Amino acid sequence: MKQNIVHNILLGQQHVPKHHTAHAFAPSNIALCKYWGKRNESLRLPMNNSLSISLGEYGTHTSITVIDDKRDKIFFNRKEIGHHTAFSKRLINFLDLFRVEKNKPYFLIETAANLPVCAGFASSASGFAALTLALQKLFDWHLTKEKLSILARLGSGSAARSLWHGFVKWHAGHLNNGMDSYAEKIPLTWNQLCIGLLVIAAKKKKISSSHAMAHTILQSKRYTTWPQTAHQHCLVIEKAIKEKNMILLGQTAQQNSIDMHAVMHASDPPINYNTPQTNAAIHQILGLQKKKHAIYFTQDAGSNLILLFTQQDMPIVLHYFPQVKVILPFANKDASHVSGYFS
Ligand code: DP6
């Protein structure tokens, strides 16, 4: 089935690499309205629409080179990764989709992420997005980003949203063949918007998001209401972005994240990514909201938190969370203590 998608998308495109090597970067993204649950595991077709903000210069750089060897070679952050690891297997399965002859050509993949990996900051998203963009360059395909998002999705669902900077929405789609499940950029900017990365644990998470979502679909009594709830949240978040309404955006994104984790907590056995430090930080953020600060959080499948606020609340955020890494997804790079990106 995956091969059918690749075949459909690559009709009329180059099937052998045009270049020897290619490089691409893709940003990580944080879902403001989360993708949680698949209606088709193998094609990574989501149950619900989702909507994200990309993290500027935080993401993955990937180079792909054709090699005359008997197997792929994979380096992550300059370290060679063995073929038996889950990381390599997933990557090699993805590359297999694009080999012309059986097992050929083989590739050298050199990939580097500048965010804590597997800790809930969506590094697999930027990883598969960067690889897809690099493949497009290597083969000299002329595919739209929407089509590339369908290919990236086959590696990791959230990778579909990592091909753009700024706000991106991923349409869940209805078709069984997955051809209408693609992402697109929301062409709106918001210069004042800030994203704060609060690293609570930079360690690998215990349960992968793929595993956790499969488990909650089967084992959570609360899952049935999730797709409709998320659908509504996406609509409200898009409205909040259009109106640049921080309270509406923050409250809705935060509620979406709380609802996703509640679905996981309600499964048997429950899944809980929170550490005592996560709970303490959440408590502190809710306290700031009581004092009328428009500072909110969202949390992916990990113990870390992502803060959502505007520049006017930057001093408060830096005061309470001095370790936070602040990203301005739409601002100029010259702000001193923050990492900005001009889209
Ligand atoms: C909580 O995209 O990592 O970050 O498709 O199985 O690779 P797979 O899952 P993945 O799940 C991301 C889950 C999330 C929410 C989101 O990014 O929308």
pLDDT given for residue 342 in this prediction: 30
Residues with CB under 6 A from ligand 1: 31, 34-35, 44, 50, 122, 124-125, 156-158, 209-210, 300-301
The CA R_g of the chain, rounded to the nearest whole Å, is 20
DSSP state of 267: B
Residue 343's pLDDT band, with cuts at 50, 70 and 90, is very low
Please count the other Cβ atoms lying within 10 Å of the Cβ belonging to residue 83.
Answer: 13
Ligand 1 atom closest to residue 153's alpha carbon, by position in its atom list:
5
* Tokens found for residue 231: 């659908």
Q: Is the pLDDT of residue 70 over 50?
A: yes
- Closest residue by Cα to residue 282 from 271, 274, 293: 274
In the chain, pLDDT over 70 holds for what percent of residues?
Answer: 93
Cβ-Cβ contacts under 8 Å for 332 (sequence gap 6 or more): 340, 342
Ligand 1 centroid – CA 323 distance (Å)? 25
Ligand 1 centroid – CA 191 distance (Å)? 26
Ligand 1 centroid – CA 44 distance (Å)? 10
For atom 12 of ligand 1, which residue has the closest CA? 158
Do residues 192 and 171 make contact, with C-beta atoms less than 8 angstroms apart? no
For atom 11 of ligand 1, which residue has the closest CA? 209
110-144 residues labelled b (16+ CB within 10 A) or e (exposed)? bbbbbbbbbbbbbbbbbbbbbbbbbbbbbbebebe
Average pLDDT over residues 58-87: 95
Mean pLDDT of the chain: 93
For the chain, where are the alpha helices, taking DSSP H only? 2-9, 86-96, 123-139, 145-153, 209-219, 226-243, 246-265, 276-290, 314-320
For atom 9 of ligand 1, which residue has the closest CA? 210
Average pLDDT over residues 207-233: 96
pLDDT given for residue 172 in this prediction: 98
For atom 14 of ligand 1, which residue has the closest CA? 300
210-240 residues labelled b (16+ CB within 10 A) or e (exposed)? bebbebbbeebeebeebbebbeebbebbbeb
pLDDT given for residue 201 in this prediction: 80
Torsional sign, CA 161, 163, 167, 170: negative
Residue 123's pLDDT band, with cuts at 50, 70 and 90, is confident
Place of tokens 């984790």: 261
Cβ-Cβ contacts under 8 Å for 315 (sequence gap 6 or more): none
In the chain, pLDDT over 90 holds for what percent of residues?
Answer: 87
Torsion of CA 174, 175, 178, 184, to 10 degrees: -50
Average pLDDT over residues 329-338: 60
Ligand 1 centroid – CA 38 distance (Å)? 10
Ligand 1 centroid – CA 157 distance (Å)? 6
Ligand 1 centroid – CA 35 distance (Å)? 6
pLDDT given for residue 104 in this prediction: 84
pLDDT, tens only, 162-196? 999 999 999 999 999 999 999 999 999 999 999 99
For atom 3 of ligand 1, which residue has the closest CA? 209
Ligand 1 centroid – CA 57 distance (Å)? 20
Residue 333's pLDDT band, with cuts at 50, 70 and 90, is low
pLDDT given for residue 119 in this prediction: 52
Q: Is the pLDDT of residue 334 over 50?
A: no
